[in-house]
Amino acid sequence: MCFRPAEISMNKCPACGAVCKPNATECPACGAEMSIVMIDNEAQQARFAAEANAPKAPAAPAAPSPK
């Protein structure tokens, strides 16, 4: 149940959340500028990287020790 990659490849309107074509410059639903999505995408990637850097489960070891 992880259809996130499919959503990333699509252009989603940051205003109403309508899925538009990746080459769409304006949202056909509300008319918002889709160029904002590009900036939002970078911010999301930065946030994702920061989360990946920070440990979330101290009880479970991330890297198994080789014998």
- 3-state SS class at 52: helix
Q: Which of 1, 28, 2 is nearest to 15 (CA)?
A: 28
Tokens 């996130």 appear where? Answer: 4
Tokens of 56: 């979330």
Quick note: the x/- pattern for Zn ion over 4-43, rule CB under 5 A, is ---------x-xx-x--------x-xx-x-----------
Q: Rounded CA gap, 66 and 28, in Å? A: 54
- The CB-of-33 to Zn ion minimum distance in angstroms stands at 10
Nearer to Zn ion, 27 or 37 (CB): 27
Q: Least Å distance between CB 56 and Zn ion?
A: 33
Residues forming contacts to Zn ion in the complex (CB under 5 A) are: 13, 15-16, 18, 27, 29-30, 32
